[in-house]
Amino acid sequence: MLLKNKIKNLVLILVLPLMLSACSEIEFGSHLVKTWDGNTTPPTSSKGTFKVGKPYTVAGRTYYPKETYNYVETGVASWYGPGFHGKKTASGEQYSQYEMTAAHRTLQMPSLVRVTNLGNGKSVVVRVNDRGPFAKGRIIDVSEKAAGLLGMKGAGTAKVKLELLADESRALAMAAKSGKSTKGVEVAYNKTGHLPQGYGQQVYDTQVAQASVVPAVQQPTAVTTYRGPIISDVPMSEPELEQTAKVEDVQGHITNGKFYPNAVVEQQPVTANSLYVQAGAFGSEQNAQNLAVRMASIAHTKVEPVTFGGRTLYKVRLGPLDTVRQADSVLSKVLAAGQSDAIIVVQ
């Protein structure tokens, strides 16, 4: 027995440094970091800072983060929640499944992105504070709270359009670079259409349709109108409350002495849209046609010319595809055929 214990201890001594090294290697792969040791103890600080990060590789694919304020993309969104609640995000904040945040593979942190569910028109603004998703064919991971408001929680995925809010994201970047917390500003933005005082003002004329959602984990004990710090659906510490958005006349409810604001969802017009797998894009039409012939046995394939940066590119797309599951299946086959840059798009 003594010999067995000594061997066990020796194995732990040898393996633990490798585990720690592996953890640091995949820090940007936030979903992997959060689960490697099973630790559910929240970090002592939730304050995030401005972060872009160096190129990183997850599951054989390399991603190149960059600071940008010109970004629009369509594709498939997923969501993450209870399994990561309380864990540290790539930005350094504590992840909360009740907040309006999201994980993106390359956008700077923090930044504000409008996510529109192209299936039902529901649209909310989320603050990017984490890295992911790393599943093939997904372009953003929203929090459980955002997924519920977007009407995609039950399905698990949704066809979405992402639009970076340029002026607002610049203001958040300046605040974060100066050491100011940006935690909670997305709550104010979803309510008022502009950033809270102290972060720069950008007011839009868009009329917002309101839809209230009560957190599923608690039942309200009172309904009230609140004047003061606005927080998301988890209690915050006093320092965080001091830096959080101040918005007047916010409808919400009080549970266990804490105020929880009602959610606001903007309703966008719903237009017909379809899923495609984009196998590649070429400057040569002949190269695009050659790939289209190769891909034709997988699904209906077409070559589409598009103008980009003053030049014509020829995109090879397979589809239209009826469901996300079907798109995932086609994407897997295209990837297996050697097209490692293939993606799912919505058109």
Mean pLDDT, consecutive 10-residue segments, the chain of 347 residues?
A: 49 40 30 34 53 92 94 95 90 90 97 95 95 94 94 95 95 91 87 80 32 37 37 41 41 56 72 90 95 97 91 96 95 95 93
**What's the pLDDT at 200?**
64
CA dist., res. 103 & res. 101, Å (int): 7
Helical H segments across 267-323, by residue range: 285-295
Domain ranges of the chain: 37-217+262-271, 275-346
199 with 187: CB under 8 angstroms?
Answer: no
CA dist., res. 8 & res. 2, Å (int): 10
Coil, strand or helix at 78 = strand
112 with 125: CB under 8 angstroms?
Answer: yes
CA dist., res. 27 & res. 19, Å (int): 12
219 phi and psi angles, rounded to 5 deg = -110, 135
43 with 144: CB under 8 angstroms?
Answer: no
CA separation (Å) from 78 to 109, 116, 133, 147, 154?
A: 19, 13, 8, 8, 11
Q: What is the pLDDT of residues 158-211, one digit of tens each?
A: 999 999 999 999 999 999 998 888 988 898 888 888 888 778 643 323 223 333
| Top CATH class, 275-346 | alpha beta
Q: Are strands 72-80 and 61-63 parallel, antiparallel or unpaired?
A: unpaired
| DSSP 8-state secondary structure symbol assigned to residue 82 | G
Encoded tokens for 236: 């915050």
Encoded tokens for 224: 């009230």
Coil, strand or helix at 67 = coil
**What's the pLDDT at 328?**
96
148: enclosing H helix or E strand: helix 144-150
Nearest by Cα to 206 from 123, 110, 113: 123
**What's the pLDDT at 268?**
79
Q: What is the pLDDT of residues 19-52, one digit of tens each?
A: 333 332 222 333 433 332 233 333 434 455 899 9
Encoded tokens for 227: 């004047």
DSSP labels for 203-255?
A: -------------TT---SEEEEEEEE---SS---HHHHHHS-EEEEEEEEEE
16: enclosing H helix or E strand: helix 2-25
**What's the pLDDT at 258?**
55
Residue type, 26: I
With the CA atoms of 250, 251, 254 and 258 taken in that order, what torsion angle do they form, in degrees rounded to the nearest 10?
Answer: -20
**What's the pLDDT at 273?**
86
The C-alpha angle 18, 109, 145, rounded to 5 degrees, equals 95
| Top CATH class, 37-217+262-271 | mainly beta
**What's the pLDDT at 201?**
42
Residue type, 141: D
144 with 154: CB under 8 angstroms?
Answer: no
Encoded tokens for 116: 């529109």
**Same fold for the pair 37-217+262-271 and 275-346:** no
**What's the pLDDT at 231?**
38
